[in-house]
Amino acid sequence: MSSPLIVVNFKTYLQGTGEGAVEIARACRDVGASSGLTIGVAPQLCDIYRVASQVDVPVYSQHVDGVGAGSFTGHAFARCVRDAGACGTLINHSERRLRLADIDASIQASKDVGLSTIVCTNNVATTAAAAALGPDYVAVEPPELIGSGIPVSKADPEVVTDSVAVVERIDPGVKVLCGAGISKGEDLKAAMELGSVGVLLASGIVKSKDPTAALRDLVSLIR
C-alpha cells in the first residue's frame, strides 16, 4: 500500500489567538514524521501565515478565488495565499460551494502561482466534471456524511470506487482523495483499499480531546 496524503481541515472549529491551530499543526507534523506519512493542514485563512511560519508542515488554504490583483474586495487571492506560506488549497468544499466556472477559475489562479489544488466533490458526476478541469486532486465527500462519524468507505463505497474509475478515464494524472466521516485507522485503510490515495478529514481530529492520539490511531494501520 502506497503512502497516503492526509489533509486535516480545521474549518472554523478553533477560536482564539490561533495557538490552537499551531498546536494541532504540530501534532500533524510530529505524527507524520514518526509514521513517515504526509499530513497536511488547512487552517482558517487568517491562520495560514501563523501556522506556516511556526510549523514545518504542508499548509493548505480552505479556499482560493479565481481573481488576480485588482479591485476585488474580500477575496482569497492565490498569490497572497501562497506568499503567506500555503502550498495548496481546497476548492469547492461542500461548505463553500462554487459554480463550475468559478471552480475552473480558482484552479487556474492556483496553478498560476504554484498552489496544489484539491477540488471537493459530492458524487461521481461532479467528480467527473471536476477531473476534466485538471486539478491535482479531487476529494469525494457526500455532504450528508460530513461530521457524521460514519465513513463514506462504509456507507457508500461505490461513490469512491466509481469516482476513481471515472477520474482514471478522464485524466489519469488527477488523484482521488476520500472524505466524510473519516476518523479511525480502519477508515483510512478502507479508503486506500477502495482506490483513493488518501483522505480529507476534519472533526475526527480537530474536535478530538487528544488530537495526537487521534492522529496516531488514524495512521496505525498504514504500513
Nearest alpha carbon to residue 90 among 54, 53, 58: 58
Q: Mark whether 144 is an active-site residue.
A: no
- Taking the CA atoms of 59, 62, 66 and 69 in sequence, report the sign of the dihedral they define: negative
**DSSP-assigned letter for residue 151:** -
Nearest alpha carbon to residue 118 among 30, 196, 203, 34: 196
As a whole number of angstroms, the distance between CA 222 and CA 215 comes to: 12
**DSSP-assigned letter for residue 147:** T
Q: Mark whether 63 is an active-site residue.
A: no
The one catalytic residue in 19, 95, 141, 193 is 141
Contact between residue 64 and residue 81 where contact means Cβ atoms under 8 Å apart: yes
The one catalytic residue in 19, 63, 75, 93 is 93
Q: Where in the sequence numbering do the catalytic residues fall? A: 93, 141
